[in-house]
């Protein structure tokens, strides 16, 4: 029933926008990124139907959907239109990070708007001079000594972040960044990294006011050009306020939760894109007549579909075997689903290592191998795959 609902949304809302979103890339206009006008209703539809907070508890309005089933649904969405699917589920990851480590006050202030699809969630790690080496980030946080949403007060944030997926766009009212920064005077390197909620706009009373988070540029990633990849300037006018999540200097440990979820998601999304390409090439191979069977070379015989040729079969079987292997990511997701059990907690250390290790292995190997499957899809489709429709 869950996957049937995912298929219905995909067929009705996502797939029809696949081509147009790929061609009509997000644009930075007057300091704001403009995306396809249908994205706003789609994101709100995901919120209204309960997809964004589906994995969370019933008390939070969620459905307690197991991670394995949730990611099977996102697989369907990704196969239909990966660009459109990233918006709501980035919000899911950011909201999950907030609810896992944030105070009740922070969760109550931000999460309902995120669950409803009105506010976008992101993960903001990378900087111009610090990618994988997060210990070198220079974004800073300084206590303001002013009142905040909880006992931690507020911090003034300054710095830059780059390559932030969905980091700014006009399909939502606000963007909530889960951002890594270093509190001034804290330990050097990775031990001094803390996690903050940094909204693009702050809710003051019933009004959203600017929080000095500016968009400096937009990039377009191959594979999902319909989603903006954003360069952010934070605190250029010393006006950015952030809210500490959890304890100081624990930000990298907290962020690994969302990072591991994203790694598994990237691997599964590679499988979803590869699967869509596989079925397109399979359909073409079944319909495209060319040549005769190797043992029947008479020109008077009718041509056969190319799926009957040995090398085309080899290419199709290679694609299918790699893609079927990619579903091993669901094994890791099963471990995530078991995290609440008492037995899992007794074996927590070993399972945590398994999740962290297999998540990154899954992301790297599956994504890399799917490059080969898409190449074989192009060979199966022959000249048609290079045409711009």
Distance from C-alpha of 227 to C-alpha of 218, rounded to nearest angstrom: 10
b/e burial code for range 194-223 (CB count within 10 A of at least 16 → b): bbbbbbbbbbeeeeeeebbbbbeebebeee
Kindly tell me if the per-residue pLDDT of 45 is higher than 70. yes
Over residues 89-110, the mean pLDDT reads 95
| Same domain, yes or no: 169 and 283 | no
Is the Cβ–Cβ distance between 113 and 174 less than 8 Å? yes
| Same domain, yes or no: 151 and 114 | yes
Range of the domain at 319: 255-386
Give the percent of the chain with pLDDT over 70. Answer: 88
- pLDDT, position 259: 87
Number of domains in the chain: 2
Instruction: CATH number of the domain at 83, please.
Output: 2.40.110.20
| Same domain, yes or no: 332 and 185 | no
- pLDDT, position 13: 96
Instruction: CATH number of the domain at 297, please.
Output: 1.20.140.10
Distance from C-alpha of 44 to C-alpha of 41, rounded to nearest angstrom: 5
DSSP string, 254-294: HHHHHHHHHHHHHHHHHHHHHHHHHHHHHHHHHH-B-S--T
* pLDDT averaged over every residue in the chain: 88
**Backbone angles phi and psi of 26, in degrees to 5:** -55, 145
Q: Given 207, 234, 249, which residue is the final one in a domain?
A: 249
Six-digit token string for 315: 């290419």
| Same domain, yes or no: 152 and 242 | yes
| Same domain, yes or no: 243 and 259 | no
pLDDT in tens, 129-180: 988 888 899 999 999 987 888 878 899 999 999 999 999 999 999 999 999 9
Six-digit token string for 68: 């394995």
> CA nearest 94: which of 76, 79, 106?
106
Kindly tell me if the per-residue pLDDT of 367 is higher than 80. no
**Backbone angles phi and psi of 105, in degrees to 5:** -65, -45
Q: Given 249, 274, 298, which residue is the final one in a domain?
A: 249
b/e burial code for range 159-188 (CB count within 10 A of at least 16 → b): bbbbbbbbbbbebbbbbbbbbbbbbeebee
| Same domain, yes or no: 245 and 273 | no
| Same domain, yes or no: 305 and 375 | yes
| Same domain, yes or no: 203 and 279 | no
Q: Given 230, 249, 268, which residue is the final one in a domain?
A: 249
| Same domain, yes or no: 229 and 277 | no
| Same domain, yes or no: 332 and 316 | yes
> CA nearest 171: which of 225, 120, 233, 116?
120
Cα distances from 111 to residues 137, 165, 174, 205, 247, in angstroms, run 27, 19, 12, 17, 19
> CA nearest 7: which of 94, 73, 60?
73
Do strands 119-124 and 174-183 pair parallel, antiparallel, or not at all (unpaired)?
A: parallel
Kindly tell me if the per-residue pLDDT of 120 is higher than 50. yes
| Same domain, yes or no: 290 and 223 | no
Which range among 187-196, 240-249, 273-282, 319-328 shows the weakest confidence by mean pLDDT?
319-328
pLDDT band at 360 (very low <50, low <70, confident <90, very high): low
What are the residues whose beta carbons fall under 8 Å from the beta carbon of 93, sequence distance 6 or more?
Answer: 121, 123, 258, 261, 262, 265
pTM: 0.88
Which residue did the predictor score with more confidence, 357 or 107?
107
Q: At what angle do helices 251-287 and 310-326 cross, to 10 degrees?
A: 160
pLDDT band at 342 (very low <50, low <70, confident <90, very high): very low
Residues written for the chain? 389
pLDDT in tens, 230-246: 999 999 999 999 999 99
pLDDT band at 87 (very low <50, low <70, confident <90, very high): very high
| Same domain, yes or no: 219 and 344 | no
């Amino acid at each position: 029933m869950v996957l049937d609902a995912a298929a219905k949304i995909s067929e009705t809302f996502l797939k029809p926008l696949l081509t147009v979103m790929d061609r009509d890339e997000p644009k930075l206009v007057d300091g704001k990124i403009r995306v396809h006008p249908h994205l706003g209703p789609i994101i709100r539809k995901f919120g209204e139907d309960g997809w964004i907070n589906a994995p969370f508890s019933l008390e939070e309005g969620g459905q307690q959907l197991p991670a394995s089933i949730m990611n099977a649904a996102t697989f369907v969405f990704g196969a239909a239109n990966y660009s459109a699917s990233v918006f709501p589920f980035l919000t899911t990851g950011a909201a999950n990070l907030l609810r896992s480590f944030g105070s009740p006050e922070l969760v109550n202030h931000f999460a309902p708007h995120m669950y409803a699809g009105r506010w976008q969630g992101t993960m903001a790690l990378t900087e111009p001079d610090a990618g994988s080496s997060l210990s070198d980030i220079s974004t800073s946080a300084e206590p303001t000594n002013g009142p905040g949403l909880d006992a931690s007060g507020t911090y003034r944030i300054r710095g830059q972040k780059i390559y932030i997926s969905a980091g700014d766009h006009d399909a939502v009212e606000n963007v909530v960044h889960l951002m890594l920064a270093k509190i001034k005077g804290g330990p050097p390197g990775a031990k001094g990294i803390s996690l903050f909620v940094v909204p693009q706009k702050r809710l003051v009373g019933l009004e959203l006011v600017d929080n000095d988070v500016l968009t400096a540029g937009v990039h377009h990633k191959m594979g999902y050009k319909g989603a903006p990849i954003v360069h952010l300037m934070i605190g250029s006018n010393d006006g950015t306020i952030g809210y500490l999540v959890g304890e100081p200097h624990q930000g990298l440990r907290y962020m690994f939760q969302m990072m591991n979820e994203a790694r598994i998601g990237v691997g599964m999304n590679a499988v979803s894109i590869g699967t869509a390409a596989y079925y397109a090439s399979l359909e073409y191979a079944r319909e495209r007549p060319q040549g005769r069977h190797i043992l029947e070379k008479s020109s008077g015989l009718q041509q056969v579909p190319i799926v009957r040729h040995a090398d085309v079969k080899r290419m199709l079987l290679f694609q299918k075997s790699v893609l079927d292997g990619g579903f091993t990511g669901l094994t890791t997701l099963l471990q995530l689903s078991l995290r609440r059990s008492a037995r899992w907690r007794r074996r927590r250390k070993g399972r945590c290592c398994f999740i962290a290790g297999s998540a990154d292995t899954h992301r790297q190997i599956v994504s890399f191998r799917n490059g080969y499957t898409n190449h074989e899809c192009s060979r199966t489709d022959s000249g048609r795959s290079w045409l711009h429709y």
